[in-house]
Every structure is written in structure tokens, then in C-alpha cells.
Amino acid sequence: MVKRLILVVALLLPLPVAFSQSVERYTIIPRPAQLEPRAGEFSISRTTIIGVSFAQADVKAIVDTFAHHISRSTGLTIPVRNGNKLTLPENLIEFLSSTDTTLGAEGYRIDITDRLVTIEATGPKGFFYAVQTLYQLLPPTTLAASHPIPATNLTTLMIPACRIQDQPRYSYRGLHLDVGRHFFSVAYIKKYLDLMALHKFNTFHWHLTDDQGWRIEIKKYPKLTQIGSQRRETIVGHYDEYDPQVFDGKPYGGFYTQDEVREVVRYAASKYINVVPEIELPGHALAALAAYPELGCNATSYQVATKWGVFDDVFCPTEKTFSFLQDVLTEVIGLFPGKYIHIGGDECPKTVWRKSAFCQQLIKREGLKDENGLQRYFVNRIDKFVTSKGRRIIGWDEILEGNNPSIRLSPNATVMSWRGIKGGIQAARQNHDVIMTPGQFCYLDHFQGDPAQEPTGFGGLLPLAMVYSYNPTPPELSPSEATHILGAQANVWTEYIKTSDQLEYMVWPRAAALAEVVWTPLSQKNYDDFTRRLPVHFERLAALNVNYSRTVYDPSFSAKPTADGKVAITIAASNQVPDIRYTLDGSIPSGESARYGNPLVLDKTTTIRTAAFADRKPLSRPAKVQKEFLVSKATGKPYTLLTAPTTGRPDKNYSLTDGTTGGMGGYEIAGVVSFISDINAVVDLGQSQSVTSVRVGFLKYTARNICLPKQVEISVSDDGKTFTPVLSRKTDAAEGGKRAFVRLPFDFSPTTARYVRIIARNIGRVPSGLRNPGKPAQLMVDEIEIR
């Protein structure tokens, strides 16, 4: 190779100015630390040669893969030549080893002119990440999984000229996948790893065991996969969606053989991704106990869980259990060469331990304070064993609990902080390394938009902007303490994620936002700039057959009653949405539908469907976003509540007559007023007029003790003092089934009135036959209509 001295004398321009001005040319995610735009572009054509030292086998493999993708997307065969024997051609992509230690193991430089592309790094990781950046400088279809283009259709690829110097902010950049609740094939795991690599994630946290399934073959304990990997059926819908709960009656299972695990680990290594296996203990153990019941504290049989949640049955801290876990971990350590083994440690109820004579004797013998101390004892024993094998444990932040001066975690134990950031701060101050993964910012099983419009999620709201806003290093930490923050991780729990399509919908682009959080310098982050890069990145994901979410473009509604009894609807969307189109007739919006400008004023009950467009092409999914708004004689009218709502869900600005219906998804409920007593509301129509019916929207959610009323009474008045009954009807407060908003109609003979009083009688306690009989019942209301 021709040796050339590359002098770095120009200061690289700060990203907020240079990058945002050229975003159409440089749509890289995560955003590089430094990028200097240049005029011109490099053309990959028939004359292009790639140079690399064949002595560097790892780098040569990276280059060969790059050349393969170029060939597949263009039909061009780009020769890869040994850089040590290369004469300088006119059209060269060269990979040069650097001795600049400031780049670190994962850093790189890229210098692109119209004749030369130079990639520098100190080792294979840096070269690998440089190539991921090159892919994102090329057209989005470059990575498409397609057949080679016929030779008659040879094309060129253009790379915009620029200079990049880049390296990650954090050393740990993780993405998690729970395969215990729902299983994903090896082929799909590889696709998951491909997408991780493109976004420069370097750690795959593989959650392999849980109450609902044991997913890894352990040779010494074959029942773990013979029995523990299979559940007899699975709960239907959300955990509380039906009362009583409904199950599908279909056996479900799956596991990875050890050969398949090795295959995944090898494939991940080729992407410079370390795989961290998780073997849950001492809780989330039902699948293991179903296979080997002697590991529990009860002399009973266990079943693999068929629904979600936290279960009381956990590992019993006997010597037999520790021998079992050490055997399991020995095989696991033999399969995973990385330094970390995740041992769980979260959500371990102590009920069984409190009742166990053995556990109580153990607590006394070891001088432990209580069952929390027993958990620390349990974790500490596993920690010592893993450490003795030359590895380090990672545990959820509960492993810090049960502090006992005589029982300490080993100094190399790493804490994964998921219950907010408090555990991470505590661990860092105790000199433990920390991986930040708080649910508020990092749980991708949470909704990313309006729960009523989204697929079933666990609960909680985590929009794209919230993920992007996260800073993993808590400001409360001192500089020395902050060095223990290794990075952050997004978690994907799959209770409600059954398919790869739904998995991708929940993960992308939110994982892309976290990729930028953990790679890009804090000072260079800019959400508006990130969203400007998304459209091209979405094209790239589409070329990779990824079912990404476009919720970031979904329009949202707000409603306000008018003085004359109508409802004014405002529709809003992100700054990246040029046009909002809508329909009022139930049809799906298209590029030819009405364009939203001023608020829409509705004079009758209407369902609005809306979608985001750019140049008449959809950005959001047009069939997705819709909402019904109710208009009646009660709309915008004041009312008096003669019984007080609960403080948790109070009435806000006459929300029962604002025309807006309630919404629900996961554990989320919106747009309701809650009562623990009867509802007694008097609506003032403003003047006497003919009324013939009342409709009230009640929430039926008996799994959460929210029941329909047992009786509804309607009466009317002209003066607001003397009321005449017009209807009294019993309703079915014991109605279970699927949760829903139920609009109960109450029709009566025409009568003239200014005031209408609605009394809904609370059943008092949840009726028998439902999940929580005898518990105090609530009433929840979303809207009152009068016609």
C-alpha cells in the first residue's frame, strides 16, 4: 500500500450548524460526533477498487461484506485488493490502520472526496462502525435483501463528500429481548442483531428464562426444555382485558438448542455484538420449578405460567437449588464467551420464604435480618460462583436490597437500574458499574402514541421524543461516580408482543433514538434534527423489510365545546408533517382528502379519520388514527355534581359534556371522571326544550373493580328545584366479559325541561362471579348526551 501521511489540521465543524444544514445528504443515525460537510461526491463505479491489508483478517472480513452489499445493490463487482501491494488508482476506497489512540477501540475517521474514500481506525470494531456509517451515506436501498441486479442494469452509487471523526459516548449500548413470554426463531434473532449493528449497539441482552418458558437447552437438566419450555395455553388480550380471564387453549413453546445458541453468539460476534444471557433467579422461576419441583419450598407440583405477572413460587435457597443453578450457569458460561452473565434478581416475592421453616432457620443461622437479607444471601452466593469462573454478574437493581455488612456483592457486580434511576445512583456511589434502563425512558413495550390507537402494549406512554430526551448519566453523581455509568439499554418485554412484525413496530424507531442517546455526544443531540433524518432512515428500514412504527407522524386531536353547542376540533402533528388530511364520512384519508387548516366545527356526532402527508404521499398510516366526537343538547352545557368525584380522576372544566369520549389501552384510562359513591349530576340546558333521551358512557372494567351502575334514574325540571321522574331502569352491574366503554341509552316520552338530572346507583361492592368479589366498586363516566 502506498503510505501517505494524513494531516489533520482543520478543526471539524460543530454538528448543530454543519450537520443540520446538510441533513438531506447526511442522514446518519446515530449522529456522528463530528462531521464536516463538503461539496461533491464519490462515485462507486466499474473503476472502483477497495484496498485493505489482507494481513488483517478481521478487517478483511468486514470489507468483503461491504463489497458484497455494494455488488448486490448495484450489480457491480468491486474488487478487494491487498493494500500492501496496491498501486494508487483514481477511484479508491481504502482502509488504513491508525495508531491514534484517541480514537479508542470503537472510534473511526472517514474522509471522502470525489476520488478517494479513506477509512481509519485502530482495530476491527472501529472499521466495522465506520462501514455502518458508510451504509447510511449510501442510498437507502443499498442494504436491501434483493437479488443481484442484472449486468445490463449496472448502476453507480454516490457517497456525499465529507469528513467524519466519530466515537461512542458510552461503552455499553444495549438492546434487550425477552424470549420467555414469546419465542423468536434463530433466523429472526439474526435480523434483530443486523438492525442492532446498523445502529451501533454492541450488547444484546437475551432474556432466556422466565415463569412462562425456559428457552435454553441445558444438557444436565433435560426437563427444563422438555417441560419448562412448554405452557399449556396463553392468556388472551391484556392481563385485565377480560373478567374472568380468557385463555386460548393452545399449547405454546420453543427453545434454543446449544448449537443454536452458539450460532447466535458467533453471528453476533461477527457484528461486534456481545451477547449477555439472562438466567432469572431467585424469582420468575415457575418454568424451572415445573420441570424440577424439588427446587421449590413447597412439596407440590408447579405449572409453567399461562399468564403474566409476578408469582409467589420462587427458588428455595437449599443446597440442591444452588447445585442446580451452578450446574446451569456452568453450561451457560461455556456457551457465552462474554464477561457478563445476567442473573435477574428482580421481583422476588418473599411470601413462600416467610412460610418456609427451612428459610426461617436459614435466616437465623446466617444472622440475616429478614427475607430481604435472604435474597441478598442468595444473590451473593451466585455472584461468588460466577466470579470464581472469571465472569461478572449483572442484576436488576433489586440485588442491592437486603444490605448486610457481612454479605456484600463482589466489587465487579454490575447493577441494571430499571425502577427509575435511584438504584443506579445508589450503585454508582457504592462503586458498582451501572447500566441505566429506567422504564420511563427505556421500556419499549410501553405505548408510543395514543393507547386507543396503538397495538396492545403493557401500559405507560413512551413516545419517541421521550426516549431521545434521556441522559443516562444522572447529574447528582460526582465526576468520579459518573465513571461507573457504563451506558444504557432499551428493554423489550414480550407479554403482548407475539410476532416479529409487532416486535419491530414497538422497537423501531425508538431504539434508533436510544442508539443516538448512547453514541452521540450530549452537546450534539438535537431532536428536531433527529426527526429530519428519520424519513430517509425509514426508507432504509423499509428496504430491510422492517415493520417500523410511524406513530411519530400521527396527528392528535383536541376538542373544545363552542358557545352554541358545537365542538371545535383542533388537529396537530409534529413539525415534520407538512399536510394533515382528514375525512368525516368514515373513509380512509388519501392525498386527495380535505387538507386540515383551521379547527373543524362539528354540529353532529362525527368520527374524524386523519393522517399525515407530504406531497400527497402518506407519512403516517392513513387507516390508523380516528376518534369519535359526540354532539348533543348537552354539549358545552354546565352541570352540577351533587356527589363528589374521586381526587384521582376529578372533573375538569365540565369534561362530561365536552364532546370527547374516553380512551383505554394497556392499564391506561383517559377522559373519565371516577366516583366511589352514586353519581348525581344535574345538567343545565340553558333554556326549556324538548328532550327524549339520555345516553351516558360508563366504563366497564370489572377486573379493576370498575362496574356498571345497578340502576339509573332520569328526572327533569324547569326551575332546577322540583324534578319529575321520567325513567328508572335497572342495569347489569354484574356484567363481566371484555372491558369497554358502554354507552347506555335511556329513552323516554318527549318532555320539556331545562334541567336534566341523572342518578347512577353504585352497586357498592363488586358482585360475585367477577375477579374481585366484595371489593369496593367504582363508577367511571366519560360523557353525557341529551337528545
Query: Which residues form the catalytic set?
Result: 347
- CA-nearest of 95, 78, 191, 176 to 143 is 191
Number of continuous H segments (helices) and E segments (strands) in the chain? 18, 38
The Cα-based distances of 224 to 230, 257, 290, 303, 315 in angstroms read 9, 12, 8, 12, 14
Q: Residue 420 in contact with residue 440, Cβ under 8 Å?
A: yes
Q: How many Å apart are CA 280 and CA 328, to the nearest integer? A: 11
Q: Which residue has the cell 426444555?
A: 225
- CA-nearest of 649, 639, 739, 630 to 695 is 630
Q: How many Å apart are CA 221 and CA 502, to the nearest integer? A: 33
- For residue 393, the surrounding DSSP H or E stretch is strand 392-396
Q: How many Å apart are CA 230 and CA 247, to the nearest integer? A: 15
Burial class (CB in 10 A: 0-12, 13-18, 19+), 520: buried
CA 559 remoteness from chain centre: 29
Which triple of cell numbers denotes residue 291? Answer: 420441570
Q: Residue 260 in contact with residue 183, Cβ under 8 Å?
A: no
**Within 10 A of 695 (CB to CB), how many other CB atoms are there?**
17
- For residue 410, the surrounding DSSP H or E stretch is none
Helical axes 527-543 vs 510-519, angle rounded to 10°: 120
Which triple of cell numbers denotes residue 269? Answer: 460476534
- CA-nearest of 293, 301, 396 to 343 is 396
- For residue 120, the surrounding DSSP H or E stretch is strand 116-121
